[in-house]
Amino acid sequence: MSAFDSDDEEEIGLLMEGGVRPKNENYLRDTVSQYTDTQFREHFRLSRGVAAYLTQIYAASPAYQENSTGGNGKLGAYEQVLIFLWFAGHQTASFRDVADRFNITISSLFRVNIRLIHFISGLAEEVIRWPSRQEQTTIEASFRRKGFPGVVGAIDGTHVRIDKPAVDPDSYCNRKKYFSVQMQAVCDHQGKIRSVFIGFPGSVHDARVFTRSDFGVNIAAMCGNYIVLGDSAYPCLRNLITPFKDFGRLTRSHKRFNKTLSSCRSVIEHCFGMLKQRFRQLYHCKLRSMENIAHFIRACCVLHNLAVDDNPELTFADPDISEVGDEEVLGHREDEDIPDSSEGVAYRNYLLAAF
């Protein structure tokens, strides 16, 4: 699998400017091997077990077997996986810092990263999946215990900051005046991502991203009689329930409904917070190619789900990644709202009767 183009070669050239610096020759052999399991997860953002699983399937793939990376021949699959995980997990690490840490050239680092980005992104179809009927029953029961029946997920959008694009930069400038790419996701009660849509420029409204996403197009077929919860940026539909807008006339029941919905929907905000705290390059992605950026974001979502499956309790208990909201969720403009559907409004009123 070749993931490189002329833009990538230009990016390698930019990253290599600045001359030669000393390398850390024995980091993997002498340091990583001595890490406790907790230290390993702190540095590489995943458990040793998940890293070993990734290594196993990567080593058996054409992406690894058909490519050689490293000045002294092919880097091992495990080395490449750890190199990518370190890069993804550290916001302040430059390409040169990561290359020096692992005693490789910047060009080798770049090729390892792009190869792993596309390989892991390619796992999304099997790792990021809409819940089965049995899973929907479990998810619904959890949301019901929190006070909202019939729910199988929560939806929201987030922005990933990027450098100024070379092409059409204005469309990527969001309302907070920085350049970004949008990501829409639906997660379940554990913060596991069940649907993701990536790549719209930062200036596009959440509701418009929704209507163009696979989930937005297929929501009725995917949800059936269930619903997902969204904030007021989204239209109220039969399968997407949003809060009652407050024009000063809300009753106690309306307010209780909105409060419960907000409490249940907060899981998606925690999901985004955990995702970005775990893979901190998502706070400001240093890649330049829009295709590579989209695949990188998707790859991080895949790794996030593998981490949730590995230990769902740890996801919310980890003091380093729990209780974090997503700072890159922007507000919305009411002049860009898509109208509620009559069916959605009627079903929301039906649900209100329980409050």
User: Using one digit for the tens of pLDDT, what is the confidence trace for 18-62?
Assistant: 444 445 567 887 889 899 999 999 999 999 999 999 999 999 999
Specify the DSSP class assigned to residue 323: S
Residue ranges, the chain, pLDDT below 50: 1-2, 12-22, 72, 319, 322-324, 332-335
Both 116 and 194 in one domain: the answer is no
Asked if residue 69 is part of any domain, the answer here is yes
User: How many structural domains is the chain composed of?
Assistant: 2
Q: What's the pLDDT at 1?
A: 44
Both 156 and 85 in one domain: the answer is no
Both 233 and 273 in one domain: the answer is yes
Both 205 and 333 in one domain: the answer is yes
Domain limit, last residue, from 121, 152, 183 = 121
Both 144 and 261 in one domain: the answer is yes
CA 65, distance to chain mean position in Å, is 28
Asked if residue 1 is part of any domain, the answer here is no
Q: How far, in Å, are 156, 221, 236, 258, 325 from residue 329 at the CA level? A: 8, 27, 19, 19, 9
Both 223 and 306 in one domain: the answer is yes
Both 133 and 117 in one domain: the answer is no
* pTM to 2 decimal places: 0.88
Kindly give the pairing relationship between strand 240-241 and strand 180-187. unpaired
Asked if residue 196 is part of any domain, the answer here is yes
Q: What's the pLDDT at 355?
A: 80
Both 110 and 143 in one domain: the answer is no
54 phi and psi angles, rounded to 5 deg? -60, -40
Q: How many CA atoms lie within 13 A of 319 on its CB side?
A: 1
Q: What's the pLDDT at 11?
A: 53
Asked if residue 83 is part of any domain, the answer here is yes
Q: What's the pLDDT at 226?
A: 98
Alpha helices in 17-132 (DSSP H): 37-44, 48-59, 62-65, 77-89, 95-101, 106-121, 124-127
- Domain assignment of residue 47, given as a range: 6-121
Both 279 and 169 in one domain: the answer is yes
Both 133 and 230 in one domain: the answer is yes
Both 142 and 101 in one domain: the answer is no
Domain limit, last residue, from 102, 121, 140 = 121
Asked if residue 347 is part of any domain, the answer here is yes
d(CA 168, CA 295): 20
Both 269 and 167 in one domain: the answer is yes
Alpha helices in 160-289 (DSSP H): 206-212, 214-223, 252-278
